Structure 1
Amino acid sequence: MSEAFDPRPITKAAKNERRKLLATTINTVGLTVFAVGFITPMLAGGLTRSSALTLGASFAILAMSHLIARRLLRGLED
């Protein structure tokens, strides 16, 4: 079921909470990708050339997602 249209404007606090939730989600996705990219080669038996590339790529995704989340948080309103 869909909710009825609510004509009331969204408050600053609600906007801030939505922004924080989105930033947390993006950061968590990056951490998850990194964890999988780090743990999988260790469970597979060591660091090979391809697993090192996977680890590097997962670290890059982690860094990018963290920076995106920080940029989103810059928009918080007082």
Structure 2
Amino acid sequence: MVRIAIQKSGRLTEKSLELLEACGMSFNGSKNQLMLQVNNFPLEILLVRDDDIPEYVRKGICELGIVGENVLWEHCDDA
């Protein structure tokens, strides 16, 4: 199962869900849940705080995270 982390609430939430839907994914549940099950792919979408997404990816909790450029720069390592 592949997990994708997106922002739970904020300016990227709707855009991220729209992007995933445009890729052909359909979901069960609502944005008020922690996790959305994707019906037609072996995927789960985690709805979390945007500042937590880089750590979730770094620790392997999620394989992919969608964040704004500001979060990327705040959390990127120089290595």
TM-score class normalised by the smaller sequence:
under 0.3
* Relative contact order higher in (CA < 8 Å, ≥ 6 apart): 1
From the two aligned structures, give the one with the greater strand fraction: 2
Q: Which has the larger radius of gyration?
A: 1
Which protein has the bigger helix share? 1
TM, length-normalised to structure 2: 0.23
